[in-house]
Structure 1
Amino acid sequence: MNLPIETPALLFSATSLILLAYTNRFLTIAQIVRGLKKTYDQEHTKDILIQIKNLNLRITLIRYMQLFGVMCLFLSVFAMLLLFIDQQIIGIYLFGASILCLMVSLALSFWEISISVKALRVHLSDLMEDKKQ
C-alpha cells in the first residue's frame, strides 16, 4: 500500500472552512444566549429557560464538532509527517482516523442543524397558527 503525502493535505482546506463555519455558529449562539440571559433576568419566564437549554445543547455539540474537526486536522498533519518519514502503514491508519474524525464532526453538525431547524419551527408555529385563523 502506498499513500501519497498530498492525499492527507486535501483535508486542509475543507477542514479549515468547516472550523470557520463552526466558530461562526458558536459566536452567533453565544450572542443569542447572552441576550436571552438578560431577558430572563428581567422576566423569569419558562419559555426563555427552555430556549437557553436548547442553545446550551447546541453549544455543547458545536464544541464537540470543533474538537473532532481539530482532531481531523491534527491527524492529517501527523499522517503527512509519518508518510514523509516513510512510515506508510501508520500514516495510512492515521489518515483513516482523521477521515473518521471528520465524519463524526459532520454528523454532529447535522444533529446541531436539525435541533436548530426544530427550534425555528417551534418559534414560527405561533405565526402559522395566526395565519390559519
Structure 2
Amino acid sequence: MTLTTPALLFPAISLLLLAYTNRFLVLAQLIRELNAREGETIRPLVKAQIDNLRKRLRLIRRMQVWGVIAFLLCTLSMFALFIAFEKIGIALFGGSLFSLTMSLVLSLYEIHISCDAIELELQNIEKKPTQN
C-alpha cells in the first residue's frame, strides 16, 4: 500500500464532516425557532418533534465522532506508511475505513429519523379541516 491510498479518503471525510456540521446547524436553528414559536405551552405534536430532534442530535454527534476518528486514523495511517511501518499503516487504514463506515451507517439512520419527523408534520397537516 502506498502513501496515496489513505490520502484518497481525505476529501471524502472532509466533505462528510462538513455535511454533518451543516445538518447540526440546521437542527440547532430549527430548535431555536421551535422554542421561540411555542412560548410557554407545548403542543403534543411539538413534544414528539422534540423527542425526534433530541435523537437526531445524538446521532449527528456520533456521526461526527466516527468521522473525526476516521480522519485521525487515516492521518496516522499516512504517517505510519511515511515512516515505513507498512503493517501498522494498513491496520490504521482499515480502522479508518471501519470508522467511516460507522459514520455512514449512523447517517443513514439519521436520515430515516428525519423522514419520521416530516411524517409527523404531514399527519398534523392532514388533521386540519379542508376547504370546500
TM-score of the aligned structures, taking structure 2 as reference length: 0.91
Query: What is the rounded CA distance, in whole Å, between the counterparts of 1:54 and 1:30 in structure 2?
Result: 13
Moved more, 47-56 or 78-87: 47-56
Give the helix-richer structure, 1 or 2.
Answer: 1
Taking every aligned residue pair, what percent have the same amino acid on both sides? Answer: 44
What is the distance in 1 between the residues matched to 2:33 and 2:53?
A: 12
Q: CA offset at residue 4 of structure 1? A: 0.5
Q: Is the 8 A contact 2:17 2:64 kept in 1?
A: yes
Cα distance between partner residues in 2 of 1:121 and 1:51: 10
Letter in 1 for 2:66: F
Cα contact 2:45–2:124 (8 A) shared by 1: no
Which residue number corresponds to residue 86 of structure 1? 84
| In 2, Cα distance between equivalents of 1:30 and 1:41 | 17
- Structure 2 residues not aligned, in runs of 5+: none
Paired letter, 2:92:
L
Give the Å deviation of 1:128: 5.1
**SS, match of residue 84 in structure 2:** coil
Which residues of structure 1 form unaligned runs of 5+?
none
Distance 1:55 1:104 in 2: 21
Which whole-Å CA distance do the structure 2 matches of 1:56 and 1:30 have between them? 10
After superposition, give the CA deviation of every residue in 1:51-86 in whole Å (9 maximum; x if it has no partner).
111101101100110110011111000000000000
Change beyond 3 A, Cα 1:121–1:47 = closer
1:73 and 2:71 correspond? yes
Cα pair 2:76 2:89 within 8 Å, conserved: yes
For the aligned residue pairs, the C-alpha RMSD in angstroms reads 1.7
The 1:88/1:12 distance shift into structure 2, 3 A limit, reads same
Deviation for aligned residue 1:43: 2.6
User: Which runs of structure 1 show a deviation greater than 6 angstroms over 4 or more consecutive aligned residues?
Assistant: none
1:38-77 map, 5 Å: 38-77=36-75
Normalised TM-score (structure 1): 0.90
The structure-2 alpha-carbon separation of the partners of 1:128 and 1:44, relative to structure 1 and needing over 3 Å to count, comes to closer
CA distance in 1: counterparts of 2:69 and 2:16, whole angstroms: 13
Aligned length: 130
